Structure 1
Amino acid sequence: MDISVVIPLLNEDESLKELHDWIVSVMQSNSFSYEIIFVDDGSTDSSWSVIEALSSENPHVKGIRFLKNFGKSQALHAGFIEAKGDVVITMDADLQDNPEEIPELYNMIIDQKFDLVSGWKKKRYDSVIAKNLPSKLFNWAARRTSGVKLNDFNCGLKAYHSDVVKNIDVNGEMHRYIPVLAKNAGFTNIGEKVVKHQARKYGHTKFGMNRFIHGFLDLLTIWFISRFGKRPMHLFGALGVIMFIIGFGFAFYLGIDKLYFNPDGRLITQRPQFYIALATMIIGSQFFIAGFLGELVLGSKRQQQRYLIKESLNLN
């Protein structure tokens, strides 16, 4: 199979039929073999009914329905597991991503040998204050922190070689950082393509300030995981040793000063340096223990199910 199109969605019943018809038109005009995988992330509208109708009309349409809203990352993860295509395309269901971009994205993966191609919505139709400026700030921070030189990490329109989606683990809210996850997994040939962004036709945006804040917190998480995820002791152990040495140095100084220079002076416990030394050694010990526990947790890590599927359609 040439292409799998994975579409996570939440309450997008008005746009699904139009999006489906548009994708099918592009696939047929380019003679692609394809599948469309809709992942309903706990919609409360009639989205699943629309997917059922599309599936009955078109055997290339597959559906996954979550028991409740588990998040976009989990929806992508479920779609990636089921994808059978050589190239996997992800796009949002709100018609702001243009299916006409699919053939060129496919060619960049197959002909130009990219592992991943991320869309760049250079010209946007979103609110400047509510979304554009926060996105620019977020993308700048992501580039600086991750080392992946993309202009638009948040763009839902991306193309992947099948090897990429089968070998990365998208969890939490890490869908924004799939290029970083791919790079950390060894897929370094990452490209970018300017894509057409369209104004939202139905419904309303689900972007909010909380997602912006969560994005930066996730960025810190993925930075830590990429640097120290396999060896937490390298960070916590180093900090612990440094702080313990500083505290022990203070304590040693106080002991020498009391024994040889001020034997009749104040008690050690009456000097503020004593409490600095004590606190620093305790914190250093705690850091070291945290690193040790991190190593134990890493060694005993087990796969956990992160979502529950209520229904599925046309999945083998």
Structure 2
Amino acid sequence: MKLSVVVPVMNEEENIAPLFKAIREALKGIDYELIMVDDGSTDGTVEKMRELADERTKIIVFARNFGQTTAMAAGIEAARGELIATLDGDLQNDPADIPMMVEKLEKEGWDLVAGRRARRQDGLLLRKLPSKIANALIRKTTGVYLHDYGCTLKVFRRDVAKNLGLYGELHRFIPVLAKMYGAKITEVDVRHHPRIHGVSKYGLGRTFRVMSDLLLMLFMQKYRTKPMHLFGSLGIPMLGIGLLIDLYLFVVKLLGQDIGQRPLLILGVMLTLGGIQLITTGFIAELIMRTYFESQNKKPYTVKAVYEPKTHP
């Protein structure tokens, strides 16, 4: 199987027929499979997909809405292709861009080719402006320099897609996850169309979720295998300063002065307790991480290739 196309959908009944048509026309001549993942639709999306499905189409139906990231993860898990493409089901991404992205990945040796919506057909205040701010923030903090993290249209090599570890709502951070895996990433301009049918599932409310996920990504990037370096770096100075304050106040008390009303006493106690908590949290996080890797026989590294020494007869 050359290519697996994964499309998460929810309540896209009117878009299914033109989507199937566009994918089939775009991928003529390519050995591909289409994996449609229904994320708890309440309209006739599933029935429409079953009606139009052919021998290349697999349909996965969730019992309820689990979110786009989970739907994408389920589709990627079921994929059999050497390459895996992800695509939105609202027809704003254009399937006709997929062959161009596949060619770029194969000819230039990339592991992930991400789409960049060059002429994005969305509202300025509610969609484009918040997206620009979020993209700039993610670039600055993660060091993964792409212009459009929110574009679902991407093409991966199989091993990269299968090892992303998608949970929660981390689909926005797929390039960051891929970079952590060791993938070589580039982006290309792709077409973007206005939504004709259905309604957008996104709004300003996702901004806070993006910020929360960004903090998680920063932790995963730097401290996933060494959480004690984060908690210890914060906890040891706090504990040290707290103990120094407590020692100073103890000496002052021995000299006969009253320390009960001093704000410095509260600060010393808080720093001491906070430092102890951070250090013990680091110990617990270390144990959790070790359990995560060892219980599942995972490795904290990725091997790209192994070259055995040549033997001579």
Determine if the TM-score, normalized by the shorter chain, exceeds 0.5: yes
Does the 8 Å CA contact 1:8/1:92 hold for their aligned counterparts? yes
Partners of 2:32 and 2:262 in 1: CA distance: 75
Deviation at 1:20, TM superposition (A): 0.7
Q: Which amino acid aligns with 2:48?
A: V
Map of 2:289 onto structure 1: 298
Alignment of 1:123-138 (within 5 A): 123-138=119-134
Deviations 1:66-90 (A, max 9, x none): 1110011111111111111111111
Partners of 1:232 and 1:114 in 2: CA distance: 31
Q: Which amino acid aligns with 2:7?
A: I
Deviation at 1:271, TM superposition (A): 3.1
Map of 2:82 onto structure 1: 86
Map of 2:305 onto structure 1: none
Q: Which amino acid aligns with 1:59?
A: E
Deviation at 1:253, TM superposition (A): 2.1
1:177 aligns with 2:173: yes
Alignment of 1:109-124 (within 5 A): 109-124=105-120
Alignment of 1:46-65 (within 5 A): 46-55=44-53, 58-65=54-61
Map of 1:44 onto structure 2: 42
Does the 8 Å CA contact 1:90/1:157 hold for their aligned counterparts? yes
Deviation at 1:2, TM superposition (A): 1.5
1:149 aligns with 2:149: no
Candidates 196, 200, 206, aligned match of 1:201:
196
Q: Which amino acid aligns with 2:275?
A: G
Partners of 1:87 and 1:278 in 2: CA distance: 57
Partners of 1:9 and 1:38 in 2: CA distance: 7
Map of 1:309 onto structure 2: none
Map of 1:19 onto structure 2: 19
Q: Give the TM-score taking structure 2 as reference length.
A: 0.90
Q: Which amino acid aligns with 2:37?
A: V
Q: Give the TM-score taking structure 1 as reference length.
A: 0.90
Candidates 240, 262, 271, aligned match of 1:245:
240
Partners of 1:256 and 1:22 in 2: CA distance: 79
Deviations 1:261-294 (A, max 9, x none): xx24x23334332222111101111111111121
Deviations 1:154-200 (A, max 9, x none): 0011111111111221111000001100101111x101000111010
Partners of 1:270 and 1:43 in 2: CA distance: 62
Deviations 1:26-56 (A, max 9, x none): 211xx1011010000111111111121122x
Partners of 2:93 and 2:253 in 1: CA distance: 73
Partners of 1:27 and 1:160 in 2: CA distance: 16
1:224 aligns with 2:219: yes
Map of 1:267 onto structure 2: 258
Partners of 2:242 and 2:20 in 1: CA distance: 65
Map of 2:32 onto structure 1: 34
Candidates 272, 275, 293, aligned match of 1:281:
272
Does the 8 Å CA contact 2:252/2:259 hold for their aligned counterparts? no
Partners of 1:26 and 1:69 in 2: CA distance: 29
Does the 8 Å CA contact 1:87/1:109 hold for their aligned counterparts? no
Secondary structure class of the residue paired with 1:111 = helix
Map of 1:69 onto structure 2: 65
With CA pairs under 8 Å and 6+ residues apart, which has the higher RCO, 1 or 2? 1
Q: Which amino acid aligns with 1:17?
A: A
Identity of aligned residues (%): 39
Q: Which runs of 5+ in 2 are unaligned?
A: 297-313
Deviation at 1:258, TM superposition (A): 4.4
